[in-house]
Amino acid sequence: MVNVTRSIDIERARPTRFPRFEIHADRCPQAFARVVDLLAARSLLPSELHARQSCTGLWIGLHLDIDRHAAERLAAKLRAIVSVDVVILIHAPTPPVEAGATGGDAPDLCASRCQTDPAERRAHQSAE
């Protein structure tokens, strides 16, 4: 079993203010129960939850109303579950800075990230 650790900051087709988790686990009923049990033990109720089976296993997607630091900690706990293979944490996009809010032109944050991070560049190009 390969355990991949990955967190990304990109805007998706359905933007949300909540962090989104995409979890791939073994194709067994206990995998889903373990993920939901971890949420229940922390009194977390997802704003959205979906699961689907594939030939390679079970995909679970969920949105939680928690801050970035708590999302990172929860992702680490999810990755520690025995039957979980991959946890992808997609952080909610940060709202853009208004041009008049800083007393000048707003910096092009996306352009600066795209220049320094190849993954950001690819994500930006695929979104256009």
DSSP structural state of residue 18: S
Rounded distance between C-alpha atoms, residue 128 and residue 123, angstroms: 9
- 4-90 CATH fold: Alpha-Beta Plaits (3.30.70)
- For the stretch 70-106, pLDDT in tens is 999 999 999 999 999 999 999 876 555 554 444 444 3
**Geometric angle at alpha carbon 89, from 87 and 92, rounded to 5°:** 165
| Phi, psi (degrees; rounded to nearest 5) at 110 | -65, -45
pLDDT, greater one: 16 or 74: 74
Q: Look at residue 16 and tell me whether its pLDDT is greater than 70.
A: no
**Domain boundaries defined on the chain:** 4-90, 97-128
Q: Look at residue 60 and tell me whether its pLDDT is greater than 90.
A: yes
- For the stretch 34-53, pLDDT in tens is 999 999 999 999 999 999 99
- Summarize the confidence of residues 57-69 as an average pLDDT: 93
The pLDDT > 70 percentage for the chain reads 59
Supply the pLDDT for residue 106: 37
Q: What pTM was estimated for this model as a whole?
A: 0.61
Give the pair of three-digit tokens for residue 99. 């041009």
Question: Which residue bears the tokens 């092009």?
Answer: 108
- Summarize the confidence of residues 115-126 as an average pLDDT: 53
